[in-house]
Amino acid sequence: WFGPRNLGVRLGRLCGGLLGPANTRHRSLTTCIDRSGSDAASLLTSAKRQGDHYILNGSKAFISGGGESDIYIVMCRTGGPGPKGISCIVVEKGTPGLSFGKKEKKVGWNSQPTRAVIFEDCAVPVAHRIGSEGQGFLIAMKGLNGGRINIASCSLGAAHASIILTRDHLKVRKQFGAPLANNQYLQFQLANMATRLVASRLIVRSAAVALQEEQEDAVALCSMAKFFATEECFAICNQALQMHGGYGYLKDYAVQQYMRDSRVHQILEGSNEVMRMLISRSLLQE
């Protein structure tokens, strides 16, 4: 995919040699799709070829790591409308014509900066194209299924941590002269949360195996895993906050952060509405 061998070598050097010595400074990559959101094939960022360069114009919204990453994997339009007109081009930070918007103020995920990435007559060598012209959409879609497993796994972590915090809170917090852990209703809620977490974990692992083994139903299973796990795990985090009472709403308690951070997982890597579309499309085509 990286075309000329020297480009792969150059990317390795720019990334600080991830397999190099432990004290080597690591560099980061960011993938840029477009403002088109769920309708990725309709992206508008253009790349017009002029000699041995592409001239990029357009912008990408909500880019995680925007302005901080050193390398940007950009999906842009080199041909006509639709997915076959999209190509994938590598742009280095510091390239003239590449700039960034303000850091977005988000509800959660505040450890990762998010900005718009802007291209204004940004000249990039043709040698920085990954694959052939028109392969960009295929490359992006191949990455999305793994990304959906990744986001679902993030939700699993938040839900697991929320359950542990809730269990510990129920043991020490007293109401009406007894620990909350003695309350049968709260015991049942904790049992529900743990069961939903295990079910989510199993579907994510099943989808990951399908993706790794390139099974025929991998796309549908990844969509199911992302949709199911992100919604169930957010519900777990939200219930955990509720069971903390007023303490759950304080920033001194981590449970509120897990709830805020996990909410966006229902939107990232394709909204859960799109996941339902992919699942139903797979069923109706059988």
User: Which run of H or E residues covers position 282?
Assistant: helix 272-284
**What value does the CA radius of gyration of the chain take, rounded to a whole number of Å?**
22
DSSP 208-255: HHHHHTT-TTHHHHHHHHHHHHHHHHHHHHHHHHHHTGGGGGSTTSTH
Exposure string over 77-104, b if 16+ CB within 10 A, otherwise e: bbeeeebebbbbbbbebebeebebbeeb
Please enumerate in sequence order all residues whose Cβ is within 8 A of that of 260, keeping only pairs 6 or more positions apart, or say none: 107, 108
* Greatest pairwise CA separation for the chain in angstroms: 79
Cα–Cα distance, 50 to 78 (Å, whole number): 11
From the list 133, 269, 273, 286, the catalytic residue is: 269
Cα–Cα distance, 262 to 248 (Å, whole number): 15
Closest CA to 221 of 199, 206, 242: 206
Q: Is 269 a catalytic residue?
A: yes
Determine the 3-state secondary structure of 241 from DSSP: helix
Q: How many CB atoms lie within 10 A of CB 195?
A: 11
Please enumerate in sequence order all residues whose Cβ is within 8 A of that of 7, keeping only pairs 6 or more positions apart, or say none: 90, 127, 128
DSSP 144-178: HHHHHHHHHHHHHHHHHHHHHHHHHHHHH-EETTE
User: Could you give the residue numbers annotated as active site?
Assistant: 269
